A and B are shown apart, each in its own frame.
Chain A
Amino acid sequence: MEGLKKVNVQVCLGTTCFVMGSSNLQELIDTVPKRYGDDVEVSGVPCLGLCSIDWKFSKAPYVKVNDEVIKEATIDKVLKMIERKLAE
């Protein structure tokens, strides 16, 4: 059906991201679905493979929202991106 939007959020829980701060993004896995219901899906995933490419720039932790990558992710950045995707 048209209009039914799905936003898929993947929080990287690989070791580098976890140590660099995604440990604190885990709460999104609980809180986001409560807030947005079925429109948004959040899961913790193993290493997205970005840390080894981008390590020199040390932008972990990474979160992927649909196909867009958030570097140095924070709760705030992720929530803003979700809002943007929902509005698209």
Chain B
Amino acid sequence: MHISNDALRLKREILARLITAFYTDDFEENARLIPFDMRPKGCEVTYRCCVYKERAAIRNRVMAGLGVALENDNERTPIEAYVRVAQKRDKPDKEVLTVLESACQGCLPNAVYVTELCQGCVARPCLNTCKFSAIKFVNGKSFIDPEKCKQCGMCIKACPYQAIVKRIVPCENACPVDAITKAPSGHAKIDFDKCITCGKCVAACPFGAVHEKSQIIDVLTKMKLGFKVIAMLAPAAAGQFPCSLKQLNTALRKIGFFDVWEVALGADVTSKNEAKDYLERMERGDKFMTTSCCSAYNQLVKLHMPEMSSHVSETKTPLYYTAEMVKRQYPDAVTVFFSPCVSKRKEASDNDNVDYVLTFEEMGALFIAFNIQVGKCAETEFALESSKQGRKFPVLGGVADAVKAVLGDKAKDLKPVLIEGLNKQSIRELRRYAKDGVCPSGNLIEVMSCNGGCISGNAVINSVKTSFKEVGSYADAGRDILEIE
């Protein structure tokens, strides 16, 4: 998420410290010390009740940084043991997210309630609008019976003093598929059978309690063992750091990546295949097709909307095609995708060509730990040329535009519809299209889980406004997709 807050800074600092610790002589000991280094004896306690609680929360964040599921932690296992696990495991954990119980505030459950602003007025519109008879008057003031309240919010709108408010649980409220709920303990718990890995809860929690499991130590371990490690940059990377993409190429090589590829190359393959798929479907009489490059959307269809699956393009994602090309060139290399979101970890876990996924945040932490000023790096050219359209994929409308460009004259009947972000409402709309077999506003539906496209993914660093500009100017410098071999 681009909005800077202390929870995000904490996370990035811990990652940077963990990477630094990895390169010391005693990784296990230095990882153990991170909570103490960050909250030394006698320091000011910023957020929680005491320094011990803060250290406990940091310890858990270190574990997430090591890629361990916190749900199974018994609190007796020393961090050192997890450090060993992180360096030995062959495959990262399948589940992408984890809840840090020590950081979770155990927020009060969702409720509508009357504040002291209630004037006990004569008109009592709250009483009259409630269809569920949940409101009564106690000591002359409005009171909502939680048993009867359906949280419809009508009374909130009715009160002329704005005295009634809805208290929400931010993560629950953000989840479009009700996958995160409160366990009996009051702490948030993710139902992994429902989770589409969109990461909206990660961004929503003001305590930073929902965490992704990092794969950073896995990647650095492979590098240390001497594997050729190849970085694949999501097109959104072009707008993430205060430098050009070619400078980023150099910066990653300094860290030890053997080669760096643009995933915009794979985007060009996606565009071409998707255009073909679209034409075939229209010819056979389909009324619409949806895109298939957002992994959170693909999970949504798989887990919650199977009726949509026949409308989803069969085209693979840009990452899929890129990883295939990379593995063809370097069959025994280890591939790492740098991603704007955690959702791509889910996609990667089903694709043998993608070994690891790191986010832009983790890339940032690497640069901090290695003390690399990206803006001072020289430029390194990419071996293969990506197109204008491929570079534009991470911006809302970019995929639809690319399909259109490939279709050329045949695009005259194409009418793109942009689903800007997955939420309860847009999911309802999508369900309707699937049920009716038709979408009234168009025939190519581009679905992005994140508002505005991947440039506002949940693990981006730059502000959306700036990265929109940067991605745009990098795209403008490219050639048209049809001009490239």
Contact = CB atoms under 8 A, between A and B. Distances in A.
Interface in A44-71: 44, 46-47, 51-52, 56, 58
6 contacts: A15-B375, A16-B367, A18-B364, A18-B461, A23-B463, A56-B37
Interface string B449-485: 0000000000001110110000000000000000000
A20 B368 CA distance: 9
Contacts of A56: 37
A24 interface: yes
Contacts of A15: 241-242, 364, 367-368, 372-375
B463 A24 contact: yes
A15, A18, A24: which has the most chain B beta carbons within 10 Å? A15
Interface string A35-51: 00000000010110001
Contact of B461 (A19, A52, A58): A19
A13 interface: yes
A60 B8 CA distance: 13
A26 B463 contact: yes
A26 B242 CA distance: 11
A58 B37 CA distance: 11
B367 A20 contact: no
Contact of A21 (B4, B367, B374): B4
B5 to A, nearest CB: 8
A46 B375 contact: yes
Chain B contact surface mostly? helix
Contacts of B376: 46
A19 to B, nearest CB: 3
Given A13-B242, A15-B373, A27 B463 contact: yes
B364 to A, nearest CB: 3
Contact of B371 (A27, A52, A58): A52
A16 B4 CA distance: 14
B365 interface: yes
Interface of B: 2-4, 8-9, 12-13, 37-38, 241-242, 361, 364-365, 367-368, 371-376, 461-463, 465-466
A16 B375 CA distance: 11
B314 to A, nearest CB: 37
Contacts of A21: 4, 8-9
B466 A13 contact: no
Contacts of A47: 373
A15 B364 CA distance: 8
By size class, the interface of chain A is 20 to 34
A26 B375 contact: no
B368 A16 contact: yes
Contacts of A26: 463, 466
A76 B361 CA distance: 24
Nearest to A12: B242
B368 A23 contact: no
A59 B374 CA distance: 20
Given A18-B364, A23-B462, 20 more contacts: A14-B375, A15-B242, A16-B367, A16-B368, A18-B241, A18-B461, A19-B364, A20-B9, A21-B8, A21-B9, A23-B2, A23-B466, A24-B4, A27-B463, A27-B465, A44-B242, A46-B376, A51-B368, A58-B13, A58-B38
B375 A74 contact: no
A72 B8 CA distance: 13
Contacts of B361: 19
B452 to A, nearest CB: 16
Contacts of B242: 13-15, 18, 44
Contacts of B461: 18-19, 23
Nearest to A16: B368
Nearest to B465: A27
Contacts of A44: 242
Contacts of B368: 15-16, 19-20, 51
Contacts of B374: 15
Contacts of A16: 367-368
A-B complex: 8 closest residue pairs judged by Cβ atoms: A19-B364, A21-B4, A24-B4, A23-B462, A13-B242, A15-B367, A58-B13, A16-B368
Contacts of B465: 27
B46 to A, nearest CB: 10
Nearest to A13: B242
Nearest to B360: A19
Contact of B367 (A19, A46, A58): A19
Contacts of A74: 4
A15 B38 CA distance: 21
A26 B364 CA distance: 17
Nearest to B3: A24
A58 B3 CA distance: 18
